[in-house]
Structure 1
Amino acid sequence: MLSRTDLRSAVPSAAELRTTLPRAEVDVDAALHLVRPIVEDVRTRGVDAALELTERFDGVRPASVRVPAEALASALAGLDPAVRAALEESTSRARRVHADQVRVDKTTQVVPGGTVTERWVPVSRVGLYVPGGLAVYPSSVVMNVVPAQAAGVESLVVCSPPQAAFDGLPHPTVLAAAALLGVEEVWAVGGAQAQALLAYGGTDTDGTELAPVDLVTGPGNIYVAAAKRLLRGLIGIDAEAGPTEIAILADETADPVHVAADLISQAEHDPLAASILVTTSVALADEVDAELERQVKATRHAERVTTALTGAQSGTVLVATVTDGLRVVDAYAAEHLEIQTADARAVAARVRNAGAVFVGAWSPVSLGDYCAGSNHVLPTGGCARHSSGLSVQTFLRGIHVVDYSEDALREVSGHVVALAEAEDLPAHGQAVTARFRDGA
């Protein structure tokens, strides 16, 4: 079922691997011309534009953007007890992990009388986007809200597309998850228009102010990514998320049943989802193909999964050694990377580029999606080479506070003047020497 790329004779350079490895082709630039007028319309007409666009794209026009408090309470009251228990466990584990990410202020005494303190200050107001589309994502409410709360964000709004099947409200499970985490502000708007409304704010149909945010986080489709690109600068963004990815580095010790199941688990997200197997074993590759044929037929979303697994973005890569396999997965920089090899923990420690690494047979990606305690909002499209997943740090800003005494400034003034003159910026030096009447 999976196409094959044979790199056993030689592994190409990192630059060549970036262009030869299977990858979903998502051209955000191609969507910009479609999204630009949407963003501009919301900028100029606010909520009226957002609701009209919602009616056009989602087939429903909510009575208001902000979800009434009673709808949140009702959704939580009606939540399946088993789902509630699972969300509570997911939240508890995520809070444990994210609490350990909180930064503390640090003061460094550079010289006697001269200190620099790095203060960590949370973003004031954030918009947390929870997509709709082919699936329902209450788990993404947890993954966005928990680190924002741990960081100390004072004001947050969850944004999710309205559903015609639920009278113009977001999916009730999404609403219930928000209520469970203590979120009081939820907006029924999705897509590019949601990003624009979060950035510009507006006035709701009942006259309530919809305050703009400083930062938007959370995944979405190509139109969401394009809107984020257009609005970046006016607001901060976490990333331009693309289709989900899983890469599995496996040797002959891996169980083909596990490998196939994990490849399918990500393929069911989206027809563009990427599932990559990197292995030293032809026998394992053959067994995984056989398992895929068997398991795909039995899965609920067989058509979607088949499209993803047979697409150009998925495939098997054969390598001669696990070391070669590490070169391949580092070049690929997967959103999710599983290590299913002998001594998996040691192999995982050698990985440099991945959104998250899942070690051994008992740490599948789906555990991380829900209940590992880790965050599942992760970099895609190779961005794990330079970017991290969502964390408490996403919602914090480091601010340097410089506090020098007169003596400490006098002691270094000559160096400041020398560097100012070297850069032909003499007023910089004069701003120091003007403080000392003797000219020192």
Structure 2
Amino acid sequence: MTTATAVNQPTLQPAAPAGRKLSLPVLLLVIAGGLALTSIVRIITGADGITNVSQMSTALELAVPIGLAGLGGLWAERAGVVNIGLEGMMILGTWFGAWAGYQWGPWTGVLVGIIGGAIGGLVHAFVTVTFNVNHIVSGVAINILALGATRYLAPLAFENAPGGTAKQSPPVESLGDFTVPGLSTALQDLNHQGWFLVSDIAGLLGGLVTNVSWLTLIAIALIPGSWWVLWRTAFGLRLRSCGENPVAAESLGVNVYKYKYLAVIISGGLAGLGGVFLSIVANPFYLEGQTSGRGYIGLAAMIFGNWMPGGLAIGAGLFGYTDSLNLRGGAENVHALLLLGSILLVIGAIWLAVRKKYLQAGITLVIGALVFAWYAATDEVPNQVVAATPYVITLLVLALSAQRLRMPRADGLPYRKGQGK
């Protein structure tokens, strides 16, 4: 009996993702090609703002909370728990971070904000793992409860505080930021030259070394740190096995409930840290509605990245960049990006034609022609289009990348201890 069980026992190693994976050289080549096309568009349109240092610095600041929310979703879903409640956990992070920050200092606010988000993760784990409630229903409920709880608590905590209102906390002291002396100035000077590709790369790098918050550095370090823990440690292997085949994991002695709980609590803490970034770094105060759907966009960045930290970071950067267009000369820059979009669509149509997908190639080419006609016939785009750009890009990116995605096999599936016996 024991021998038969061992023979039929599934292995712990998660299955490899379907489809071909981009190697690092190919990925770098794609990024370089994208920068070259962007540089060409900048020179043609004269929209220097699309790659200047200020634009990239703003994009980085806006990408961080999206990336942290997406990273939280990655931890949970790698353990098999869908976390739609990232938005609510971010809301808890914004409130708890600002509440503790204005009283005891910003770094205390960071810690308490992480704890606030982790509490939301604990609730989600308790409901979904212990009671097997549908993960989507639980996540939506947490979003609603977090919004209602902070709306109730904000007037009690902030209304009578100096500088606070029923919907806004008093100002929180800054965490501080840094600029690399010499290098930052050199990159800005190089960016202002307007040279092909070189100036655009200088703008990108300049945004990474100019007025960067210490919390941004922590967030960036969490990307490779999460990859190392999840893909290079025994702990990470066990956690990922719970998202691929929990029955096999349990049969090999893994405490599936424990790993699911840990993953979702860490997920909530990371989302809470994203909320802290919004209420202490991006704005030095809590404000009702501060997250503005960034938890959902973070989830989209995670899906775009195929449940991998590196892809998630690229997705967060893309969404952060499009979001930054609202803040810095958005109409002119979005109009210039219409030309870039039409070029990319034509390249996509050629690629589809080479692969003999003629119908899809024809549709893509028509769409590219329409986008180019829009660019050629106008001098700017309406402000409403600028405001909607991040959300439109989110939908387009997910639609175009859907064919290569593979979520963990047991993601969102109910699991009961001992169900494989």
Shorter-normalised TM range: under 0.3
Higher strand share: 1
Taking structure 2 as the reference length, the TM-score comes to 0.21
Larger Rg: 1
Q: TM-score, normalised by structure 1?
A: 0.20
Structure with higher RCO (Cα < 8 A, 6+ apart): 2
> Which structure's residues are more often helix, by fraction?
2
